[in-house]
């Protein structure tokens, strides 16, 4: 039982690390809105897109949205 608990805890840390690296890579390429939109997009439309996609939020809020609302607010469900 202790081995299983240890492996599950290790798995949580690995998933956290992988998701953090992938999230960081989206910002290392530059502004995600600039990367996703065509080059000739007007600046006002870029701002609207940033707001719609949540890129104008603080990074911790963006990270929680990146990993998903169910992960950010876990709920116990019995089926």
- Give 20-63 pLDDT, tens digit per residue: 998 898 888 888 888 889 989 999 999 999 999 888 899 888 88
Distance, in Å, from the CA atom of 13 to the CA atom of 43, rounded to the nearest integer, reads 39
- String of DSSP letters for 3-55: HHHHHHHHHHHHHHHHHHHHHHHHHHTS-HHHHHS-TT--HHHHHHHHHHHTT
> How many domains would you assign to the chain?
1
What does the alpha-carbon distance between residue 61 and residue 18 come to, in Å, rounded to a whole number? 18
Which pair of structure tokens corresponds to residue 15?
Answer: 């998933």
Q: Does 26 fall in a domain?
A: yes
- For the entire predicted model, the pTM comes to 0.67
Tell me, yes or no, whether 78 lies in a domain. no
Full residue range of the structural domain in which residue 11 is found: 2-72
Residue 14 has pLDDT above 60, yes or no: yes
**Cα 74 to Cα 76: distance, rounded to the nearest angstrom:** 7
Q: What is the pLDDT of residue 74?
A: 55
- In this structure, what are the phi and psi dihedrals at residue 75, rounded to the nearest 5 degrees? -130, 140
């Amino acid at each position: 039982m202790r081995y299983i608990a240890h492996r599950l805890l290790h798995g949580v840390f690995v998933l956290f690390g992988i998701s953090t690296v992938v999230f960081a890579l989206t910002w290392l390429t530059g502004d995600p809105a600039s990367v996703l939109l065509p080059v000739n997009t007007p600046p006002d439309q870029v701002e609207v897109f940033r707001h719609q996609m949540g890129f104008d939020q603080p990074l911790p809020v963006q990270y929680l949205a990146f990993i998903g609302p169910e992960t950010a607010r876990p709920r116990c469900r019995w089926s």
